Amino acid sequence: SFGHNGFTGTSMWIDPENKIIVILLTNAVHPNRSWKKPKYYDWRQRIHSAVYETLGFKERNPNFNWRKQW
C-alpha cells in the first residue's frame, strides 16, 4: 500500500492488495492558517483506520496498530 498527505490535511491511501482507495479532501488552513493545529492531522489516520475497520480488516490482521475510537 502507498499514499500521500497534503499540507492542508488532504490524504490519499491506495491498497492494491485489498482493492481499497481512500481519498480525504480537507482544508485545514481555511479561513486562515491559525486553524491548522497538530491535532487536526490525527483525524486523517482515524478516518483511514475506520474505513479498514468497517470493511472487517481489523479481524483479518490482529497485528495492525489500530487507533482508539474518538
pLDDT digits (tens, 9 = 90+) for 6-49: 887 789 999 998 899 999 998 877 667 665 565 666 778 788 88
- pTM of the full predicted structure? 0.66
H helix runs in 1-70, sequence order: 42-54, 57-60
Burial of 22 (0-12, 13-18, 19+ CB in 10 A): middle
Whether omega before 31 lies within 30 degrees of 0, making that bond cis, reads: yes
**Measured in whole angstroms, how far is the alpha carbon of residue 45 from the centre of its chain?**
4
- The more confident residue out of 23 and 65 is 23
Q: What are phi and psi of 11, to 5 degrees?
A: -155, 155
24, 10 in Cβ contact below 8 A?
yes
pLDDT digits (tens, 9 = 90+) for 37-64: 656 667 787 888 888 888 887 666 565 5
Domain limits, the chain: 2-60
The predicted structure's pLDDT at residue 14: 93
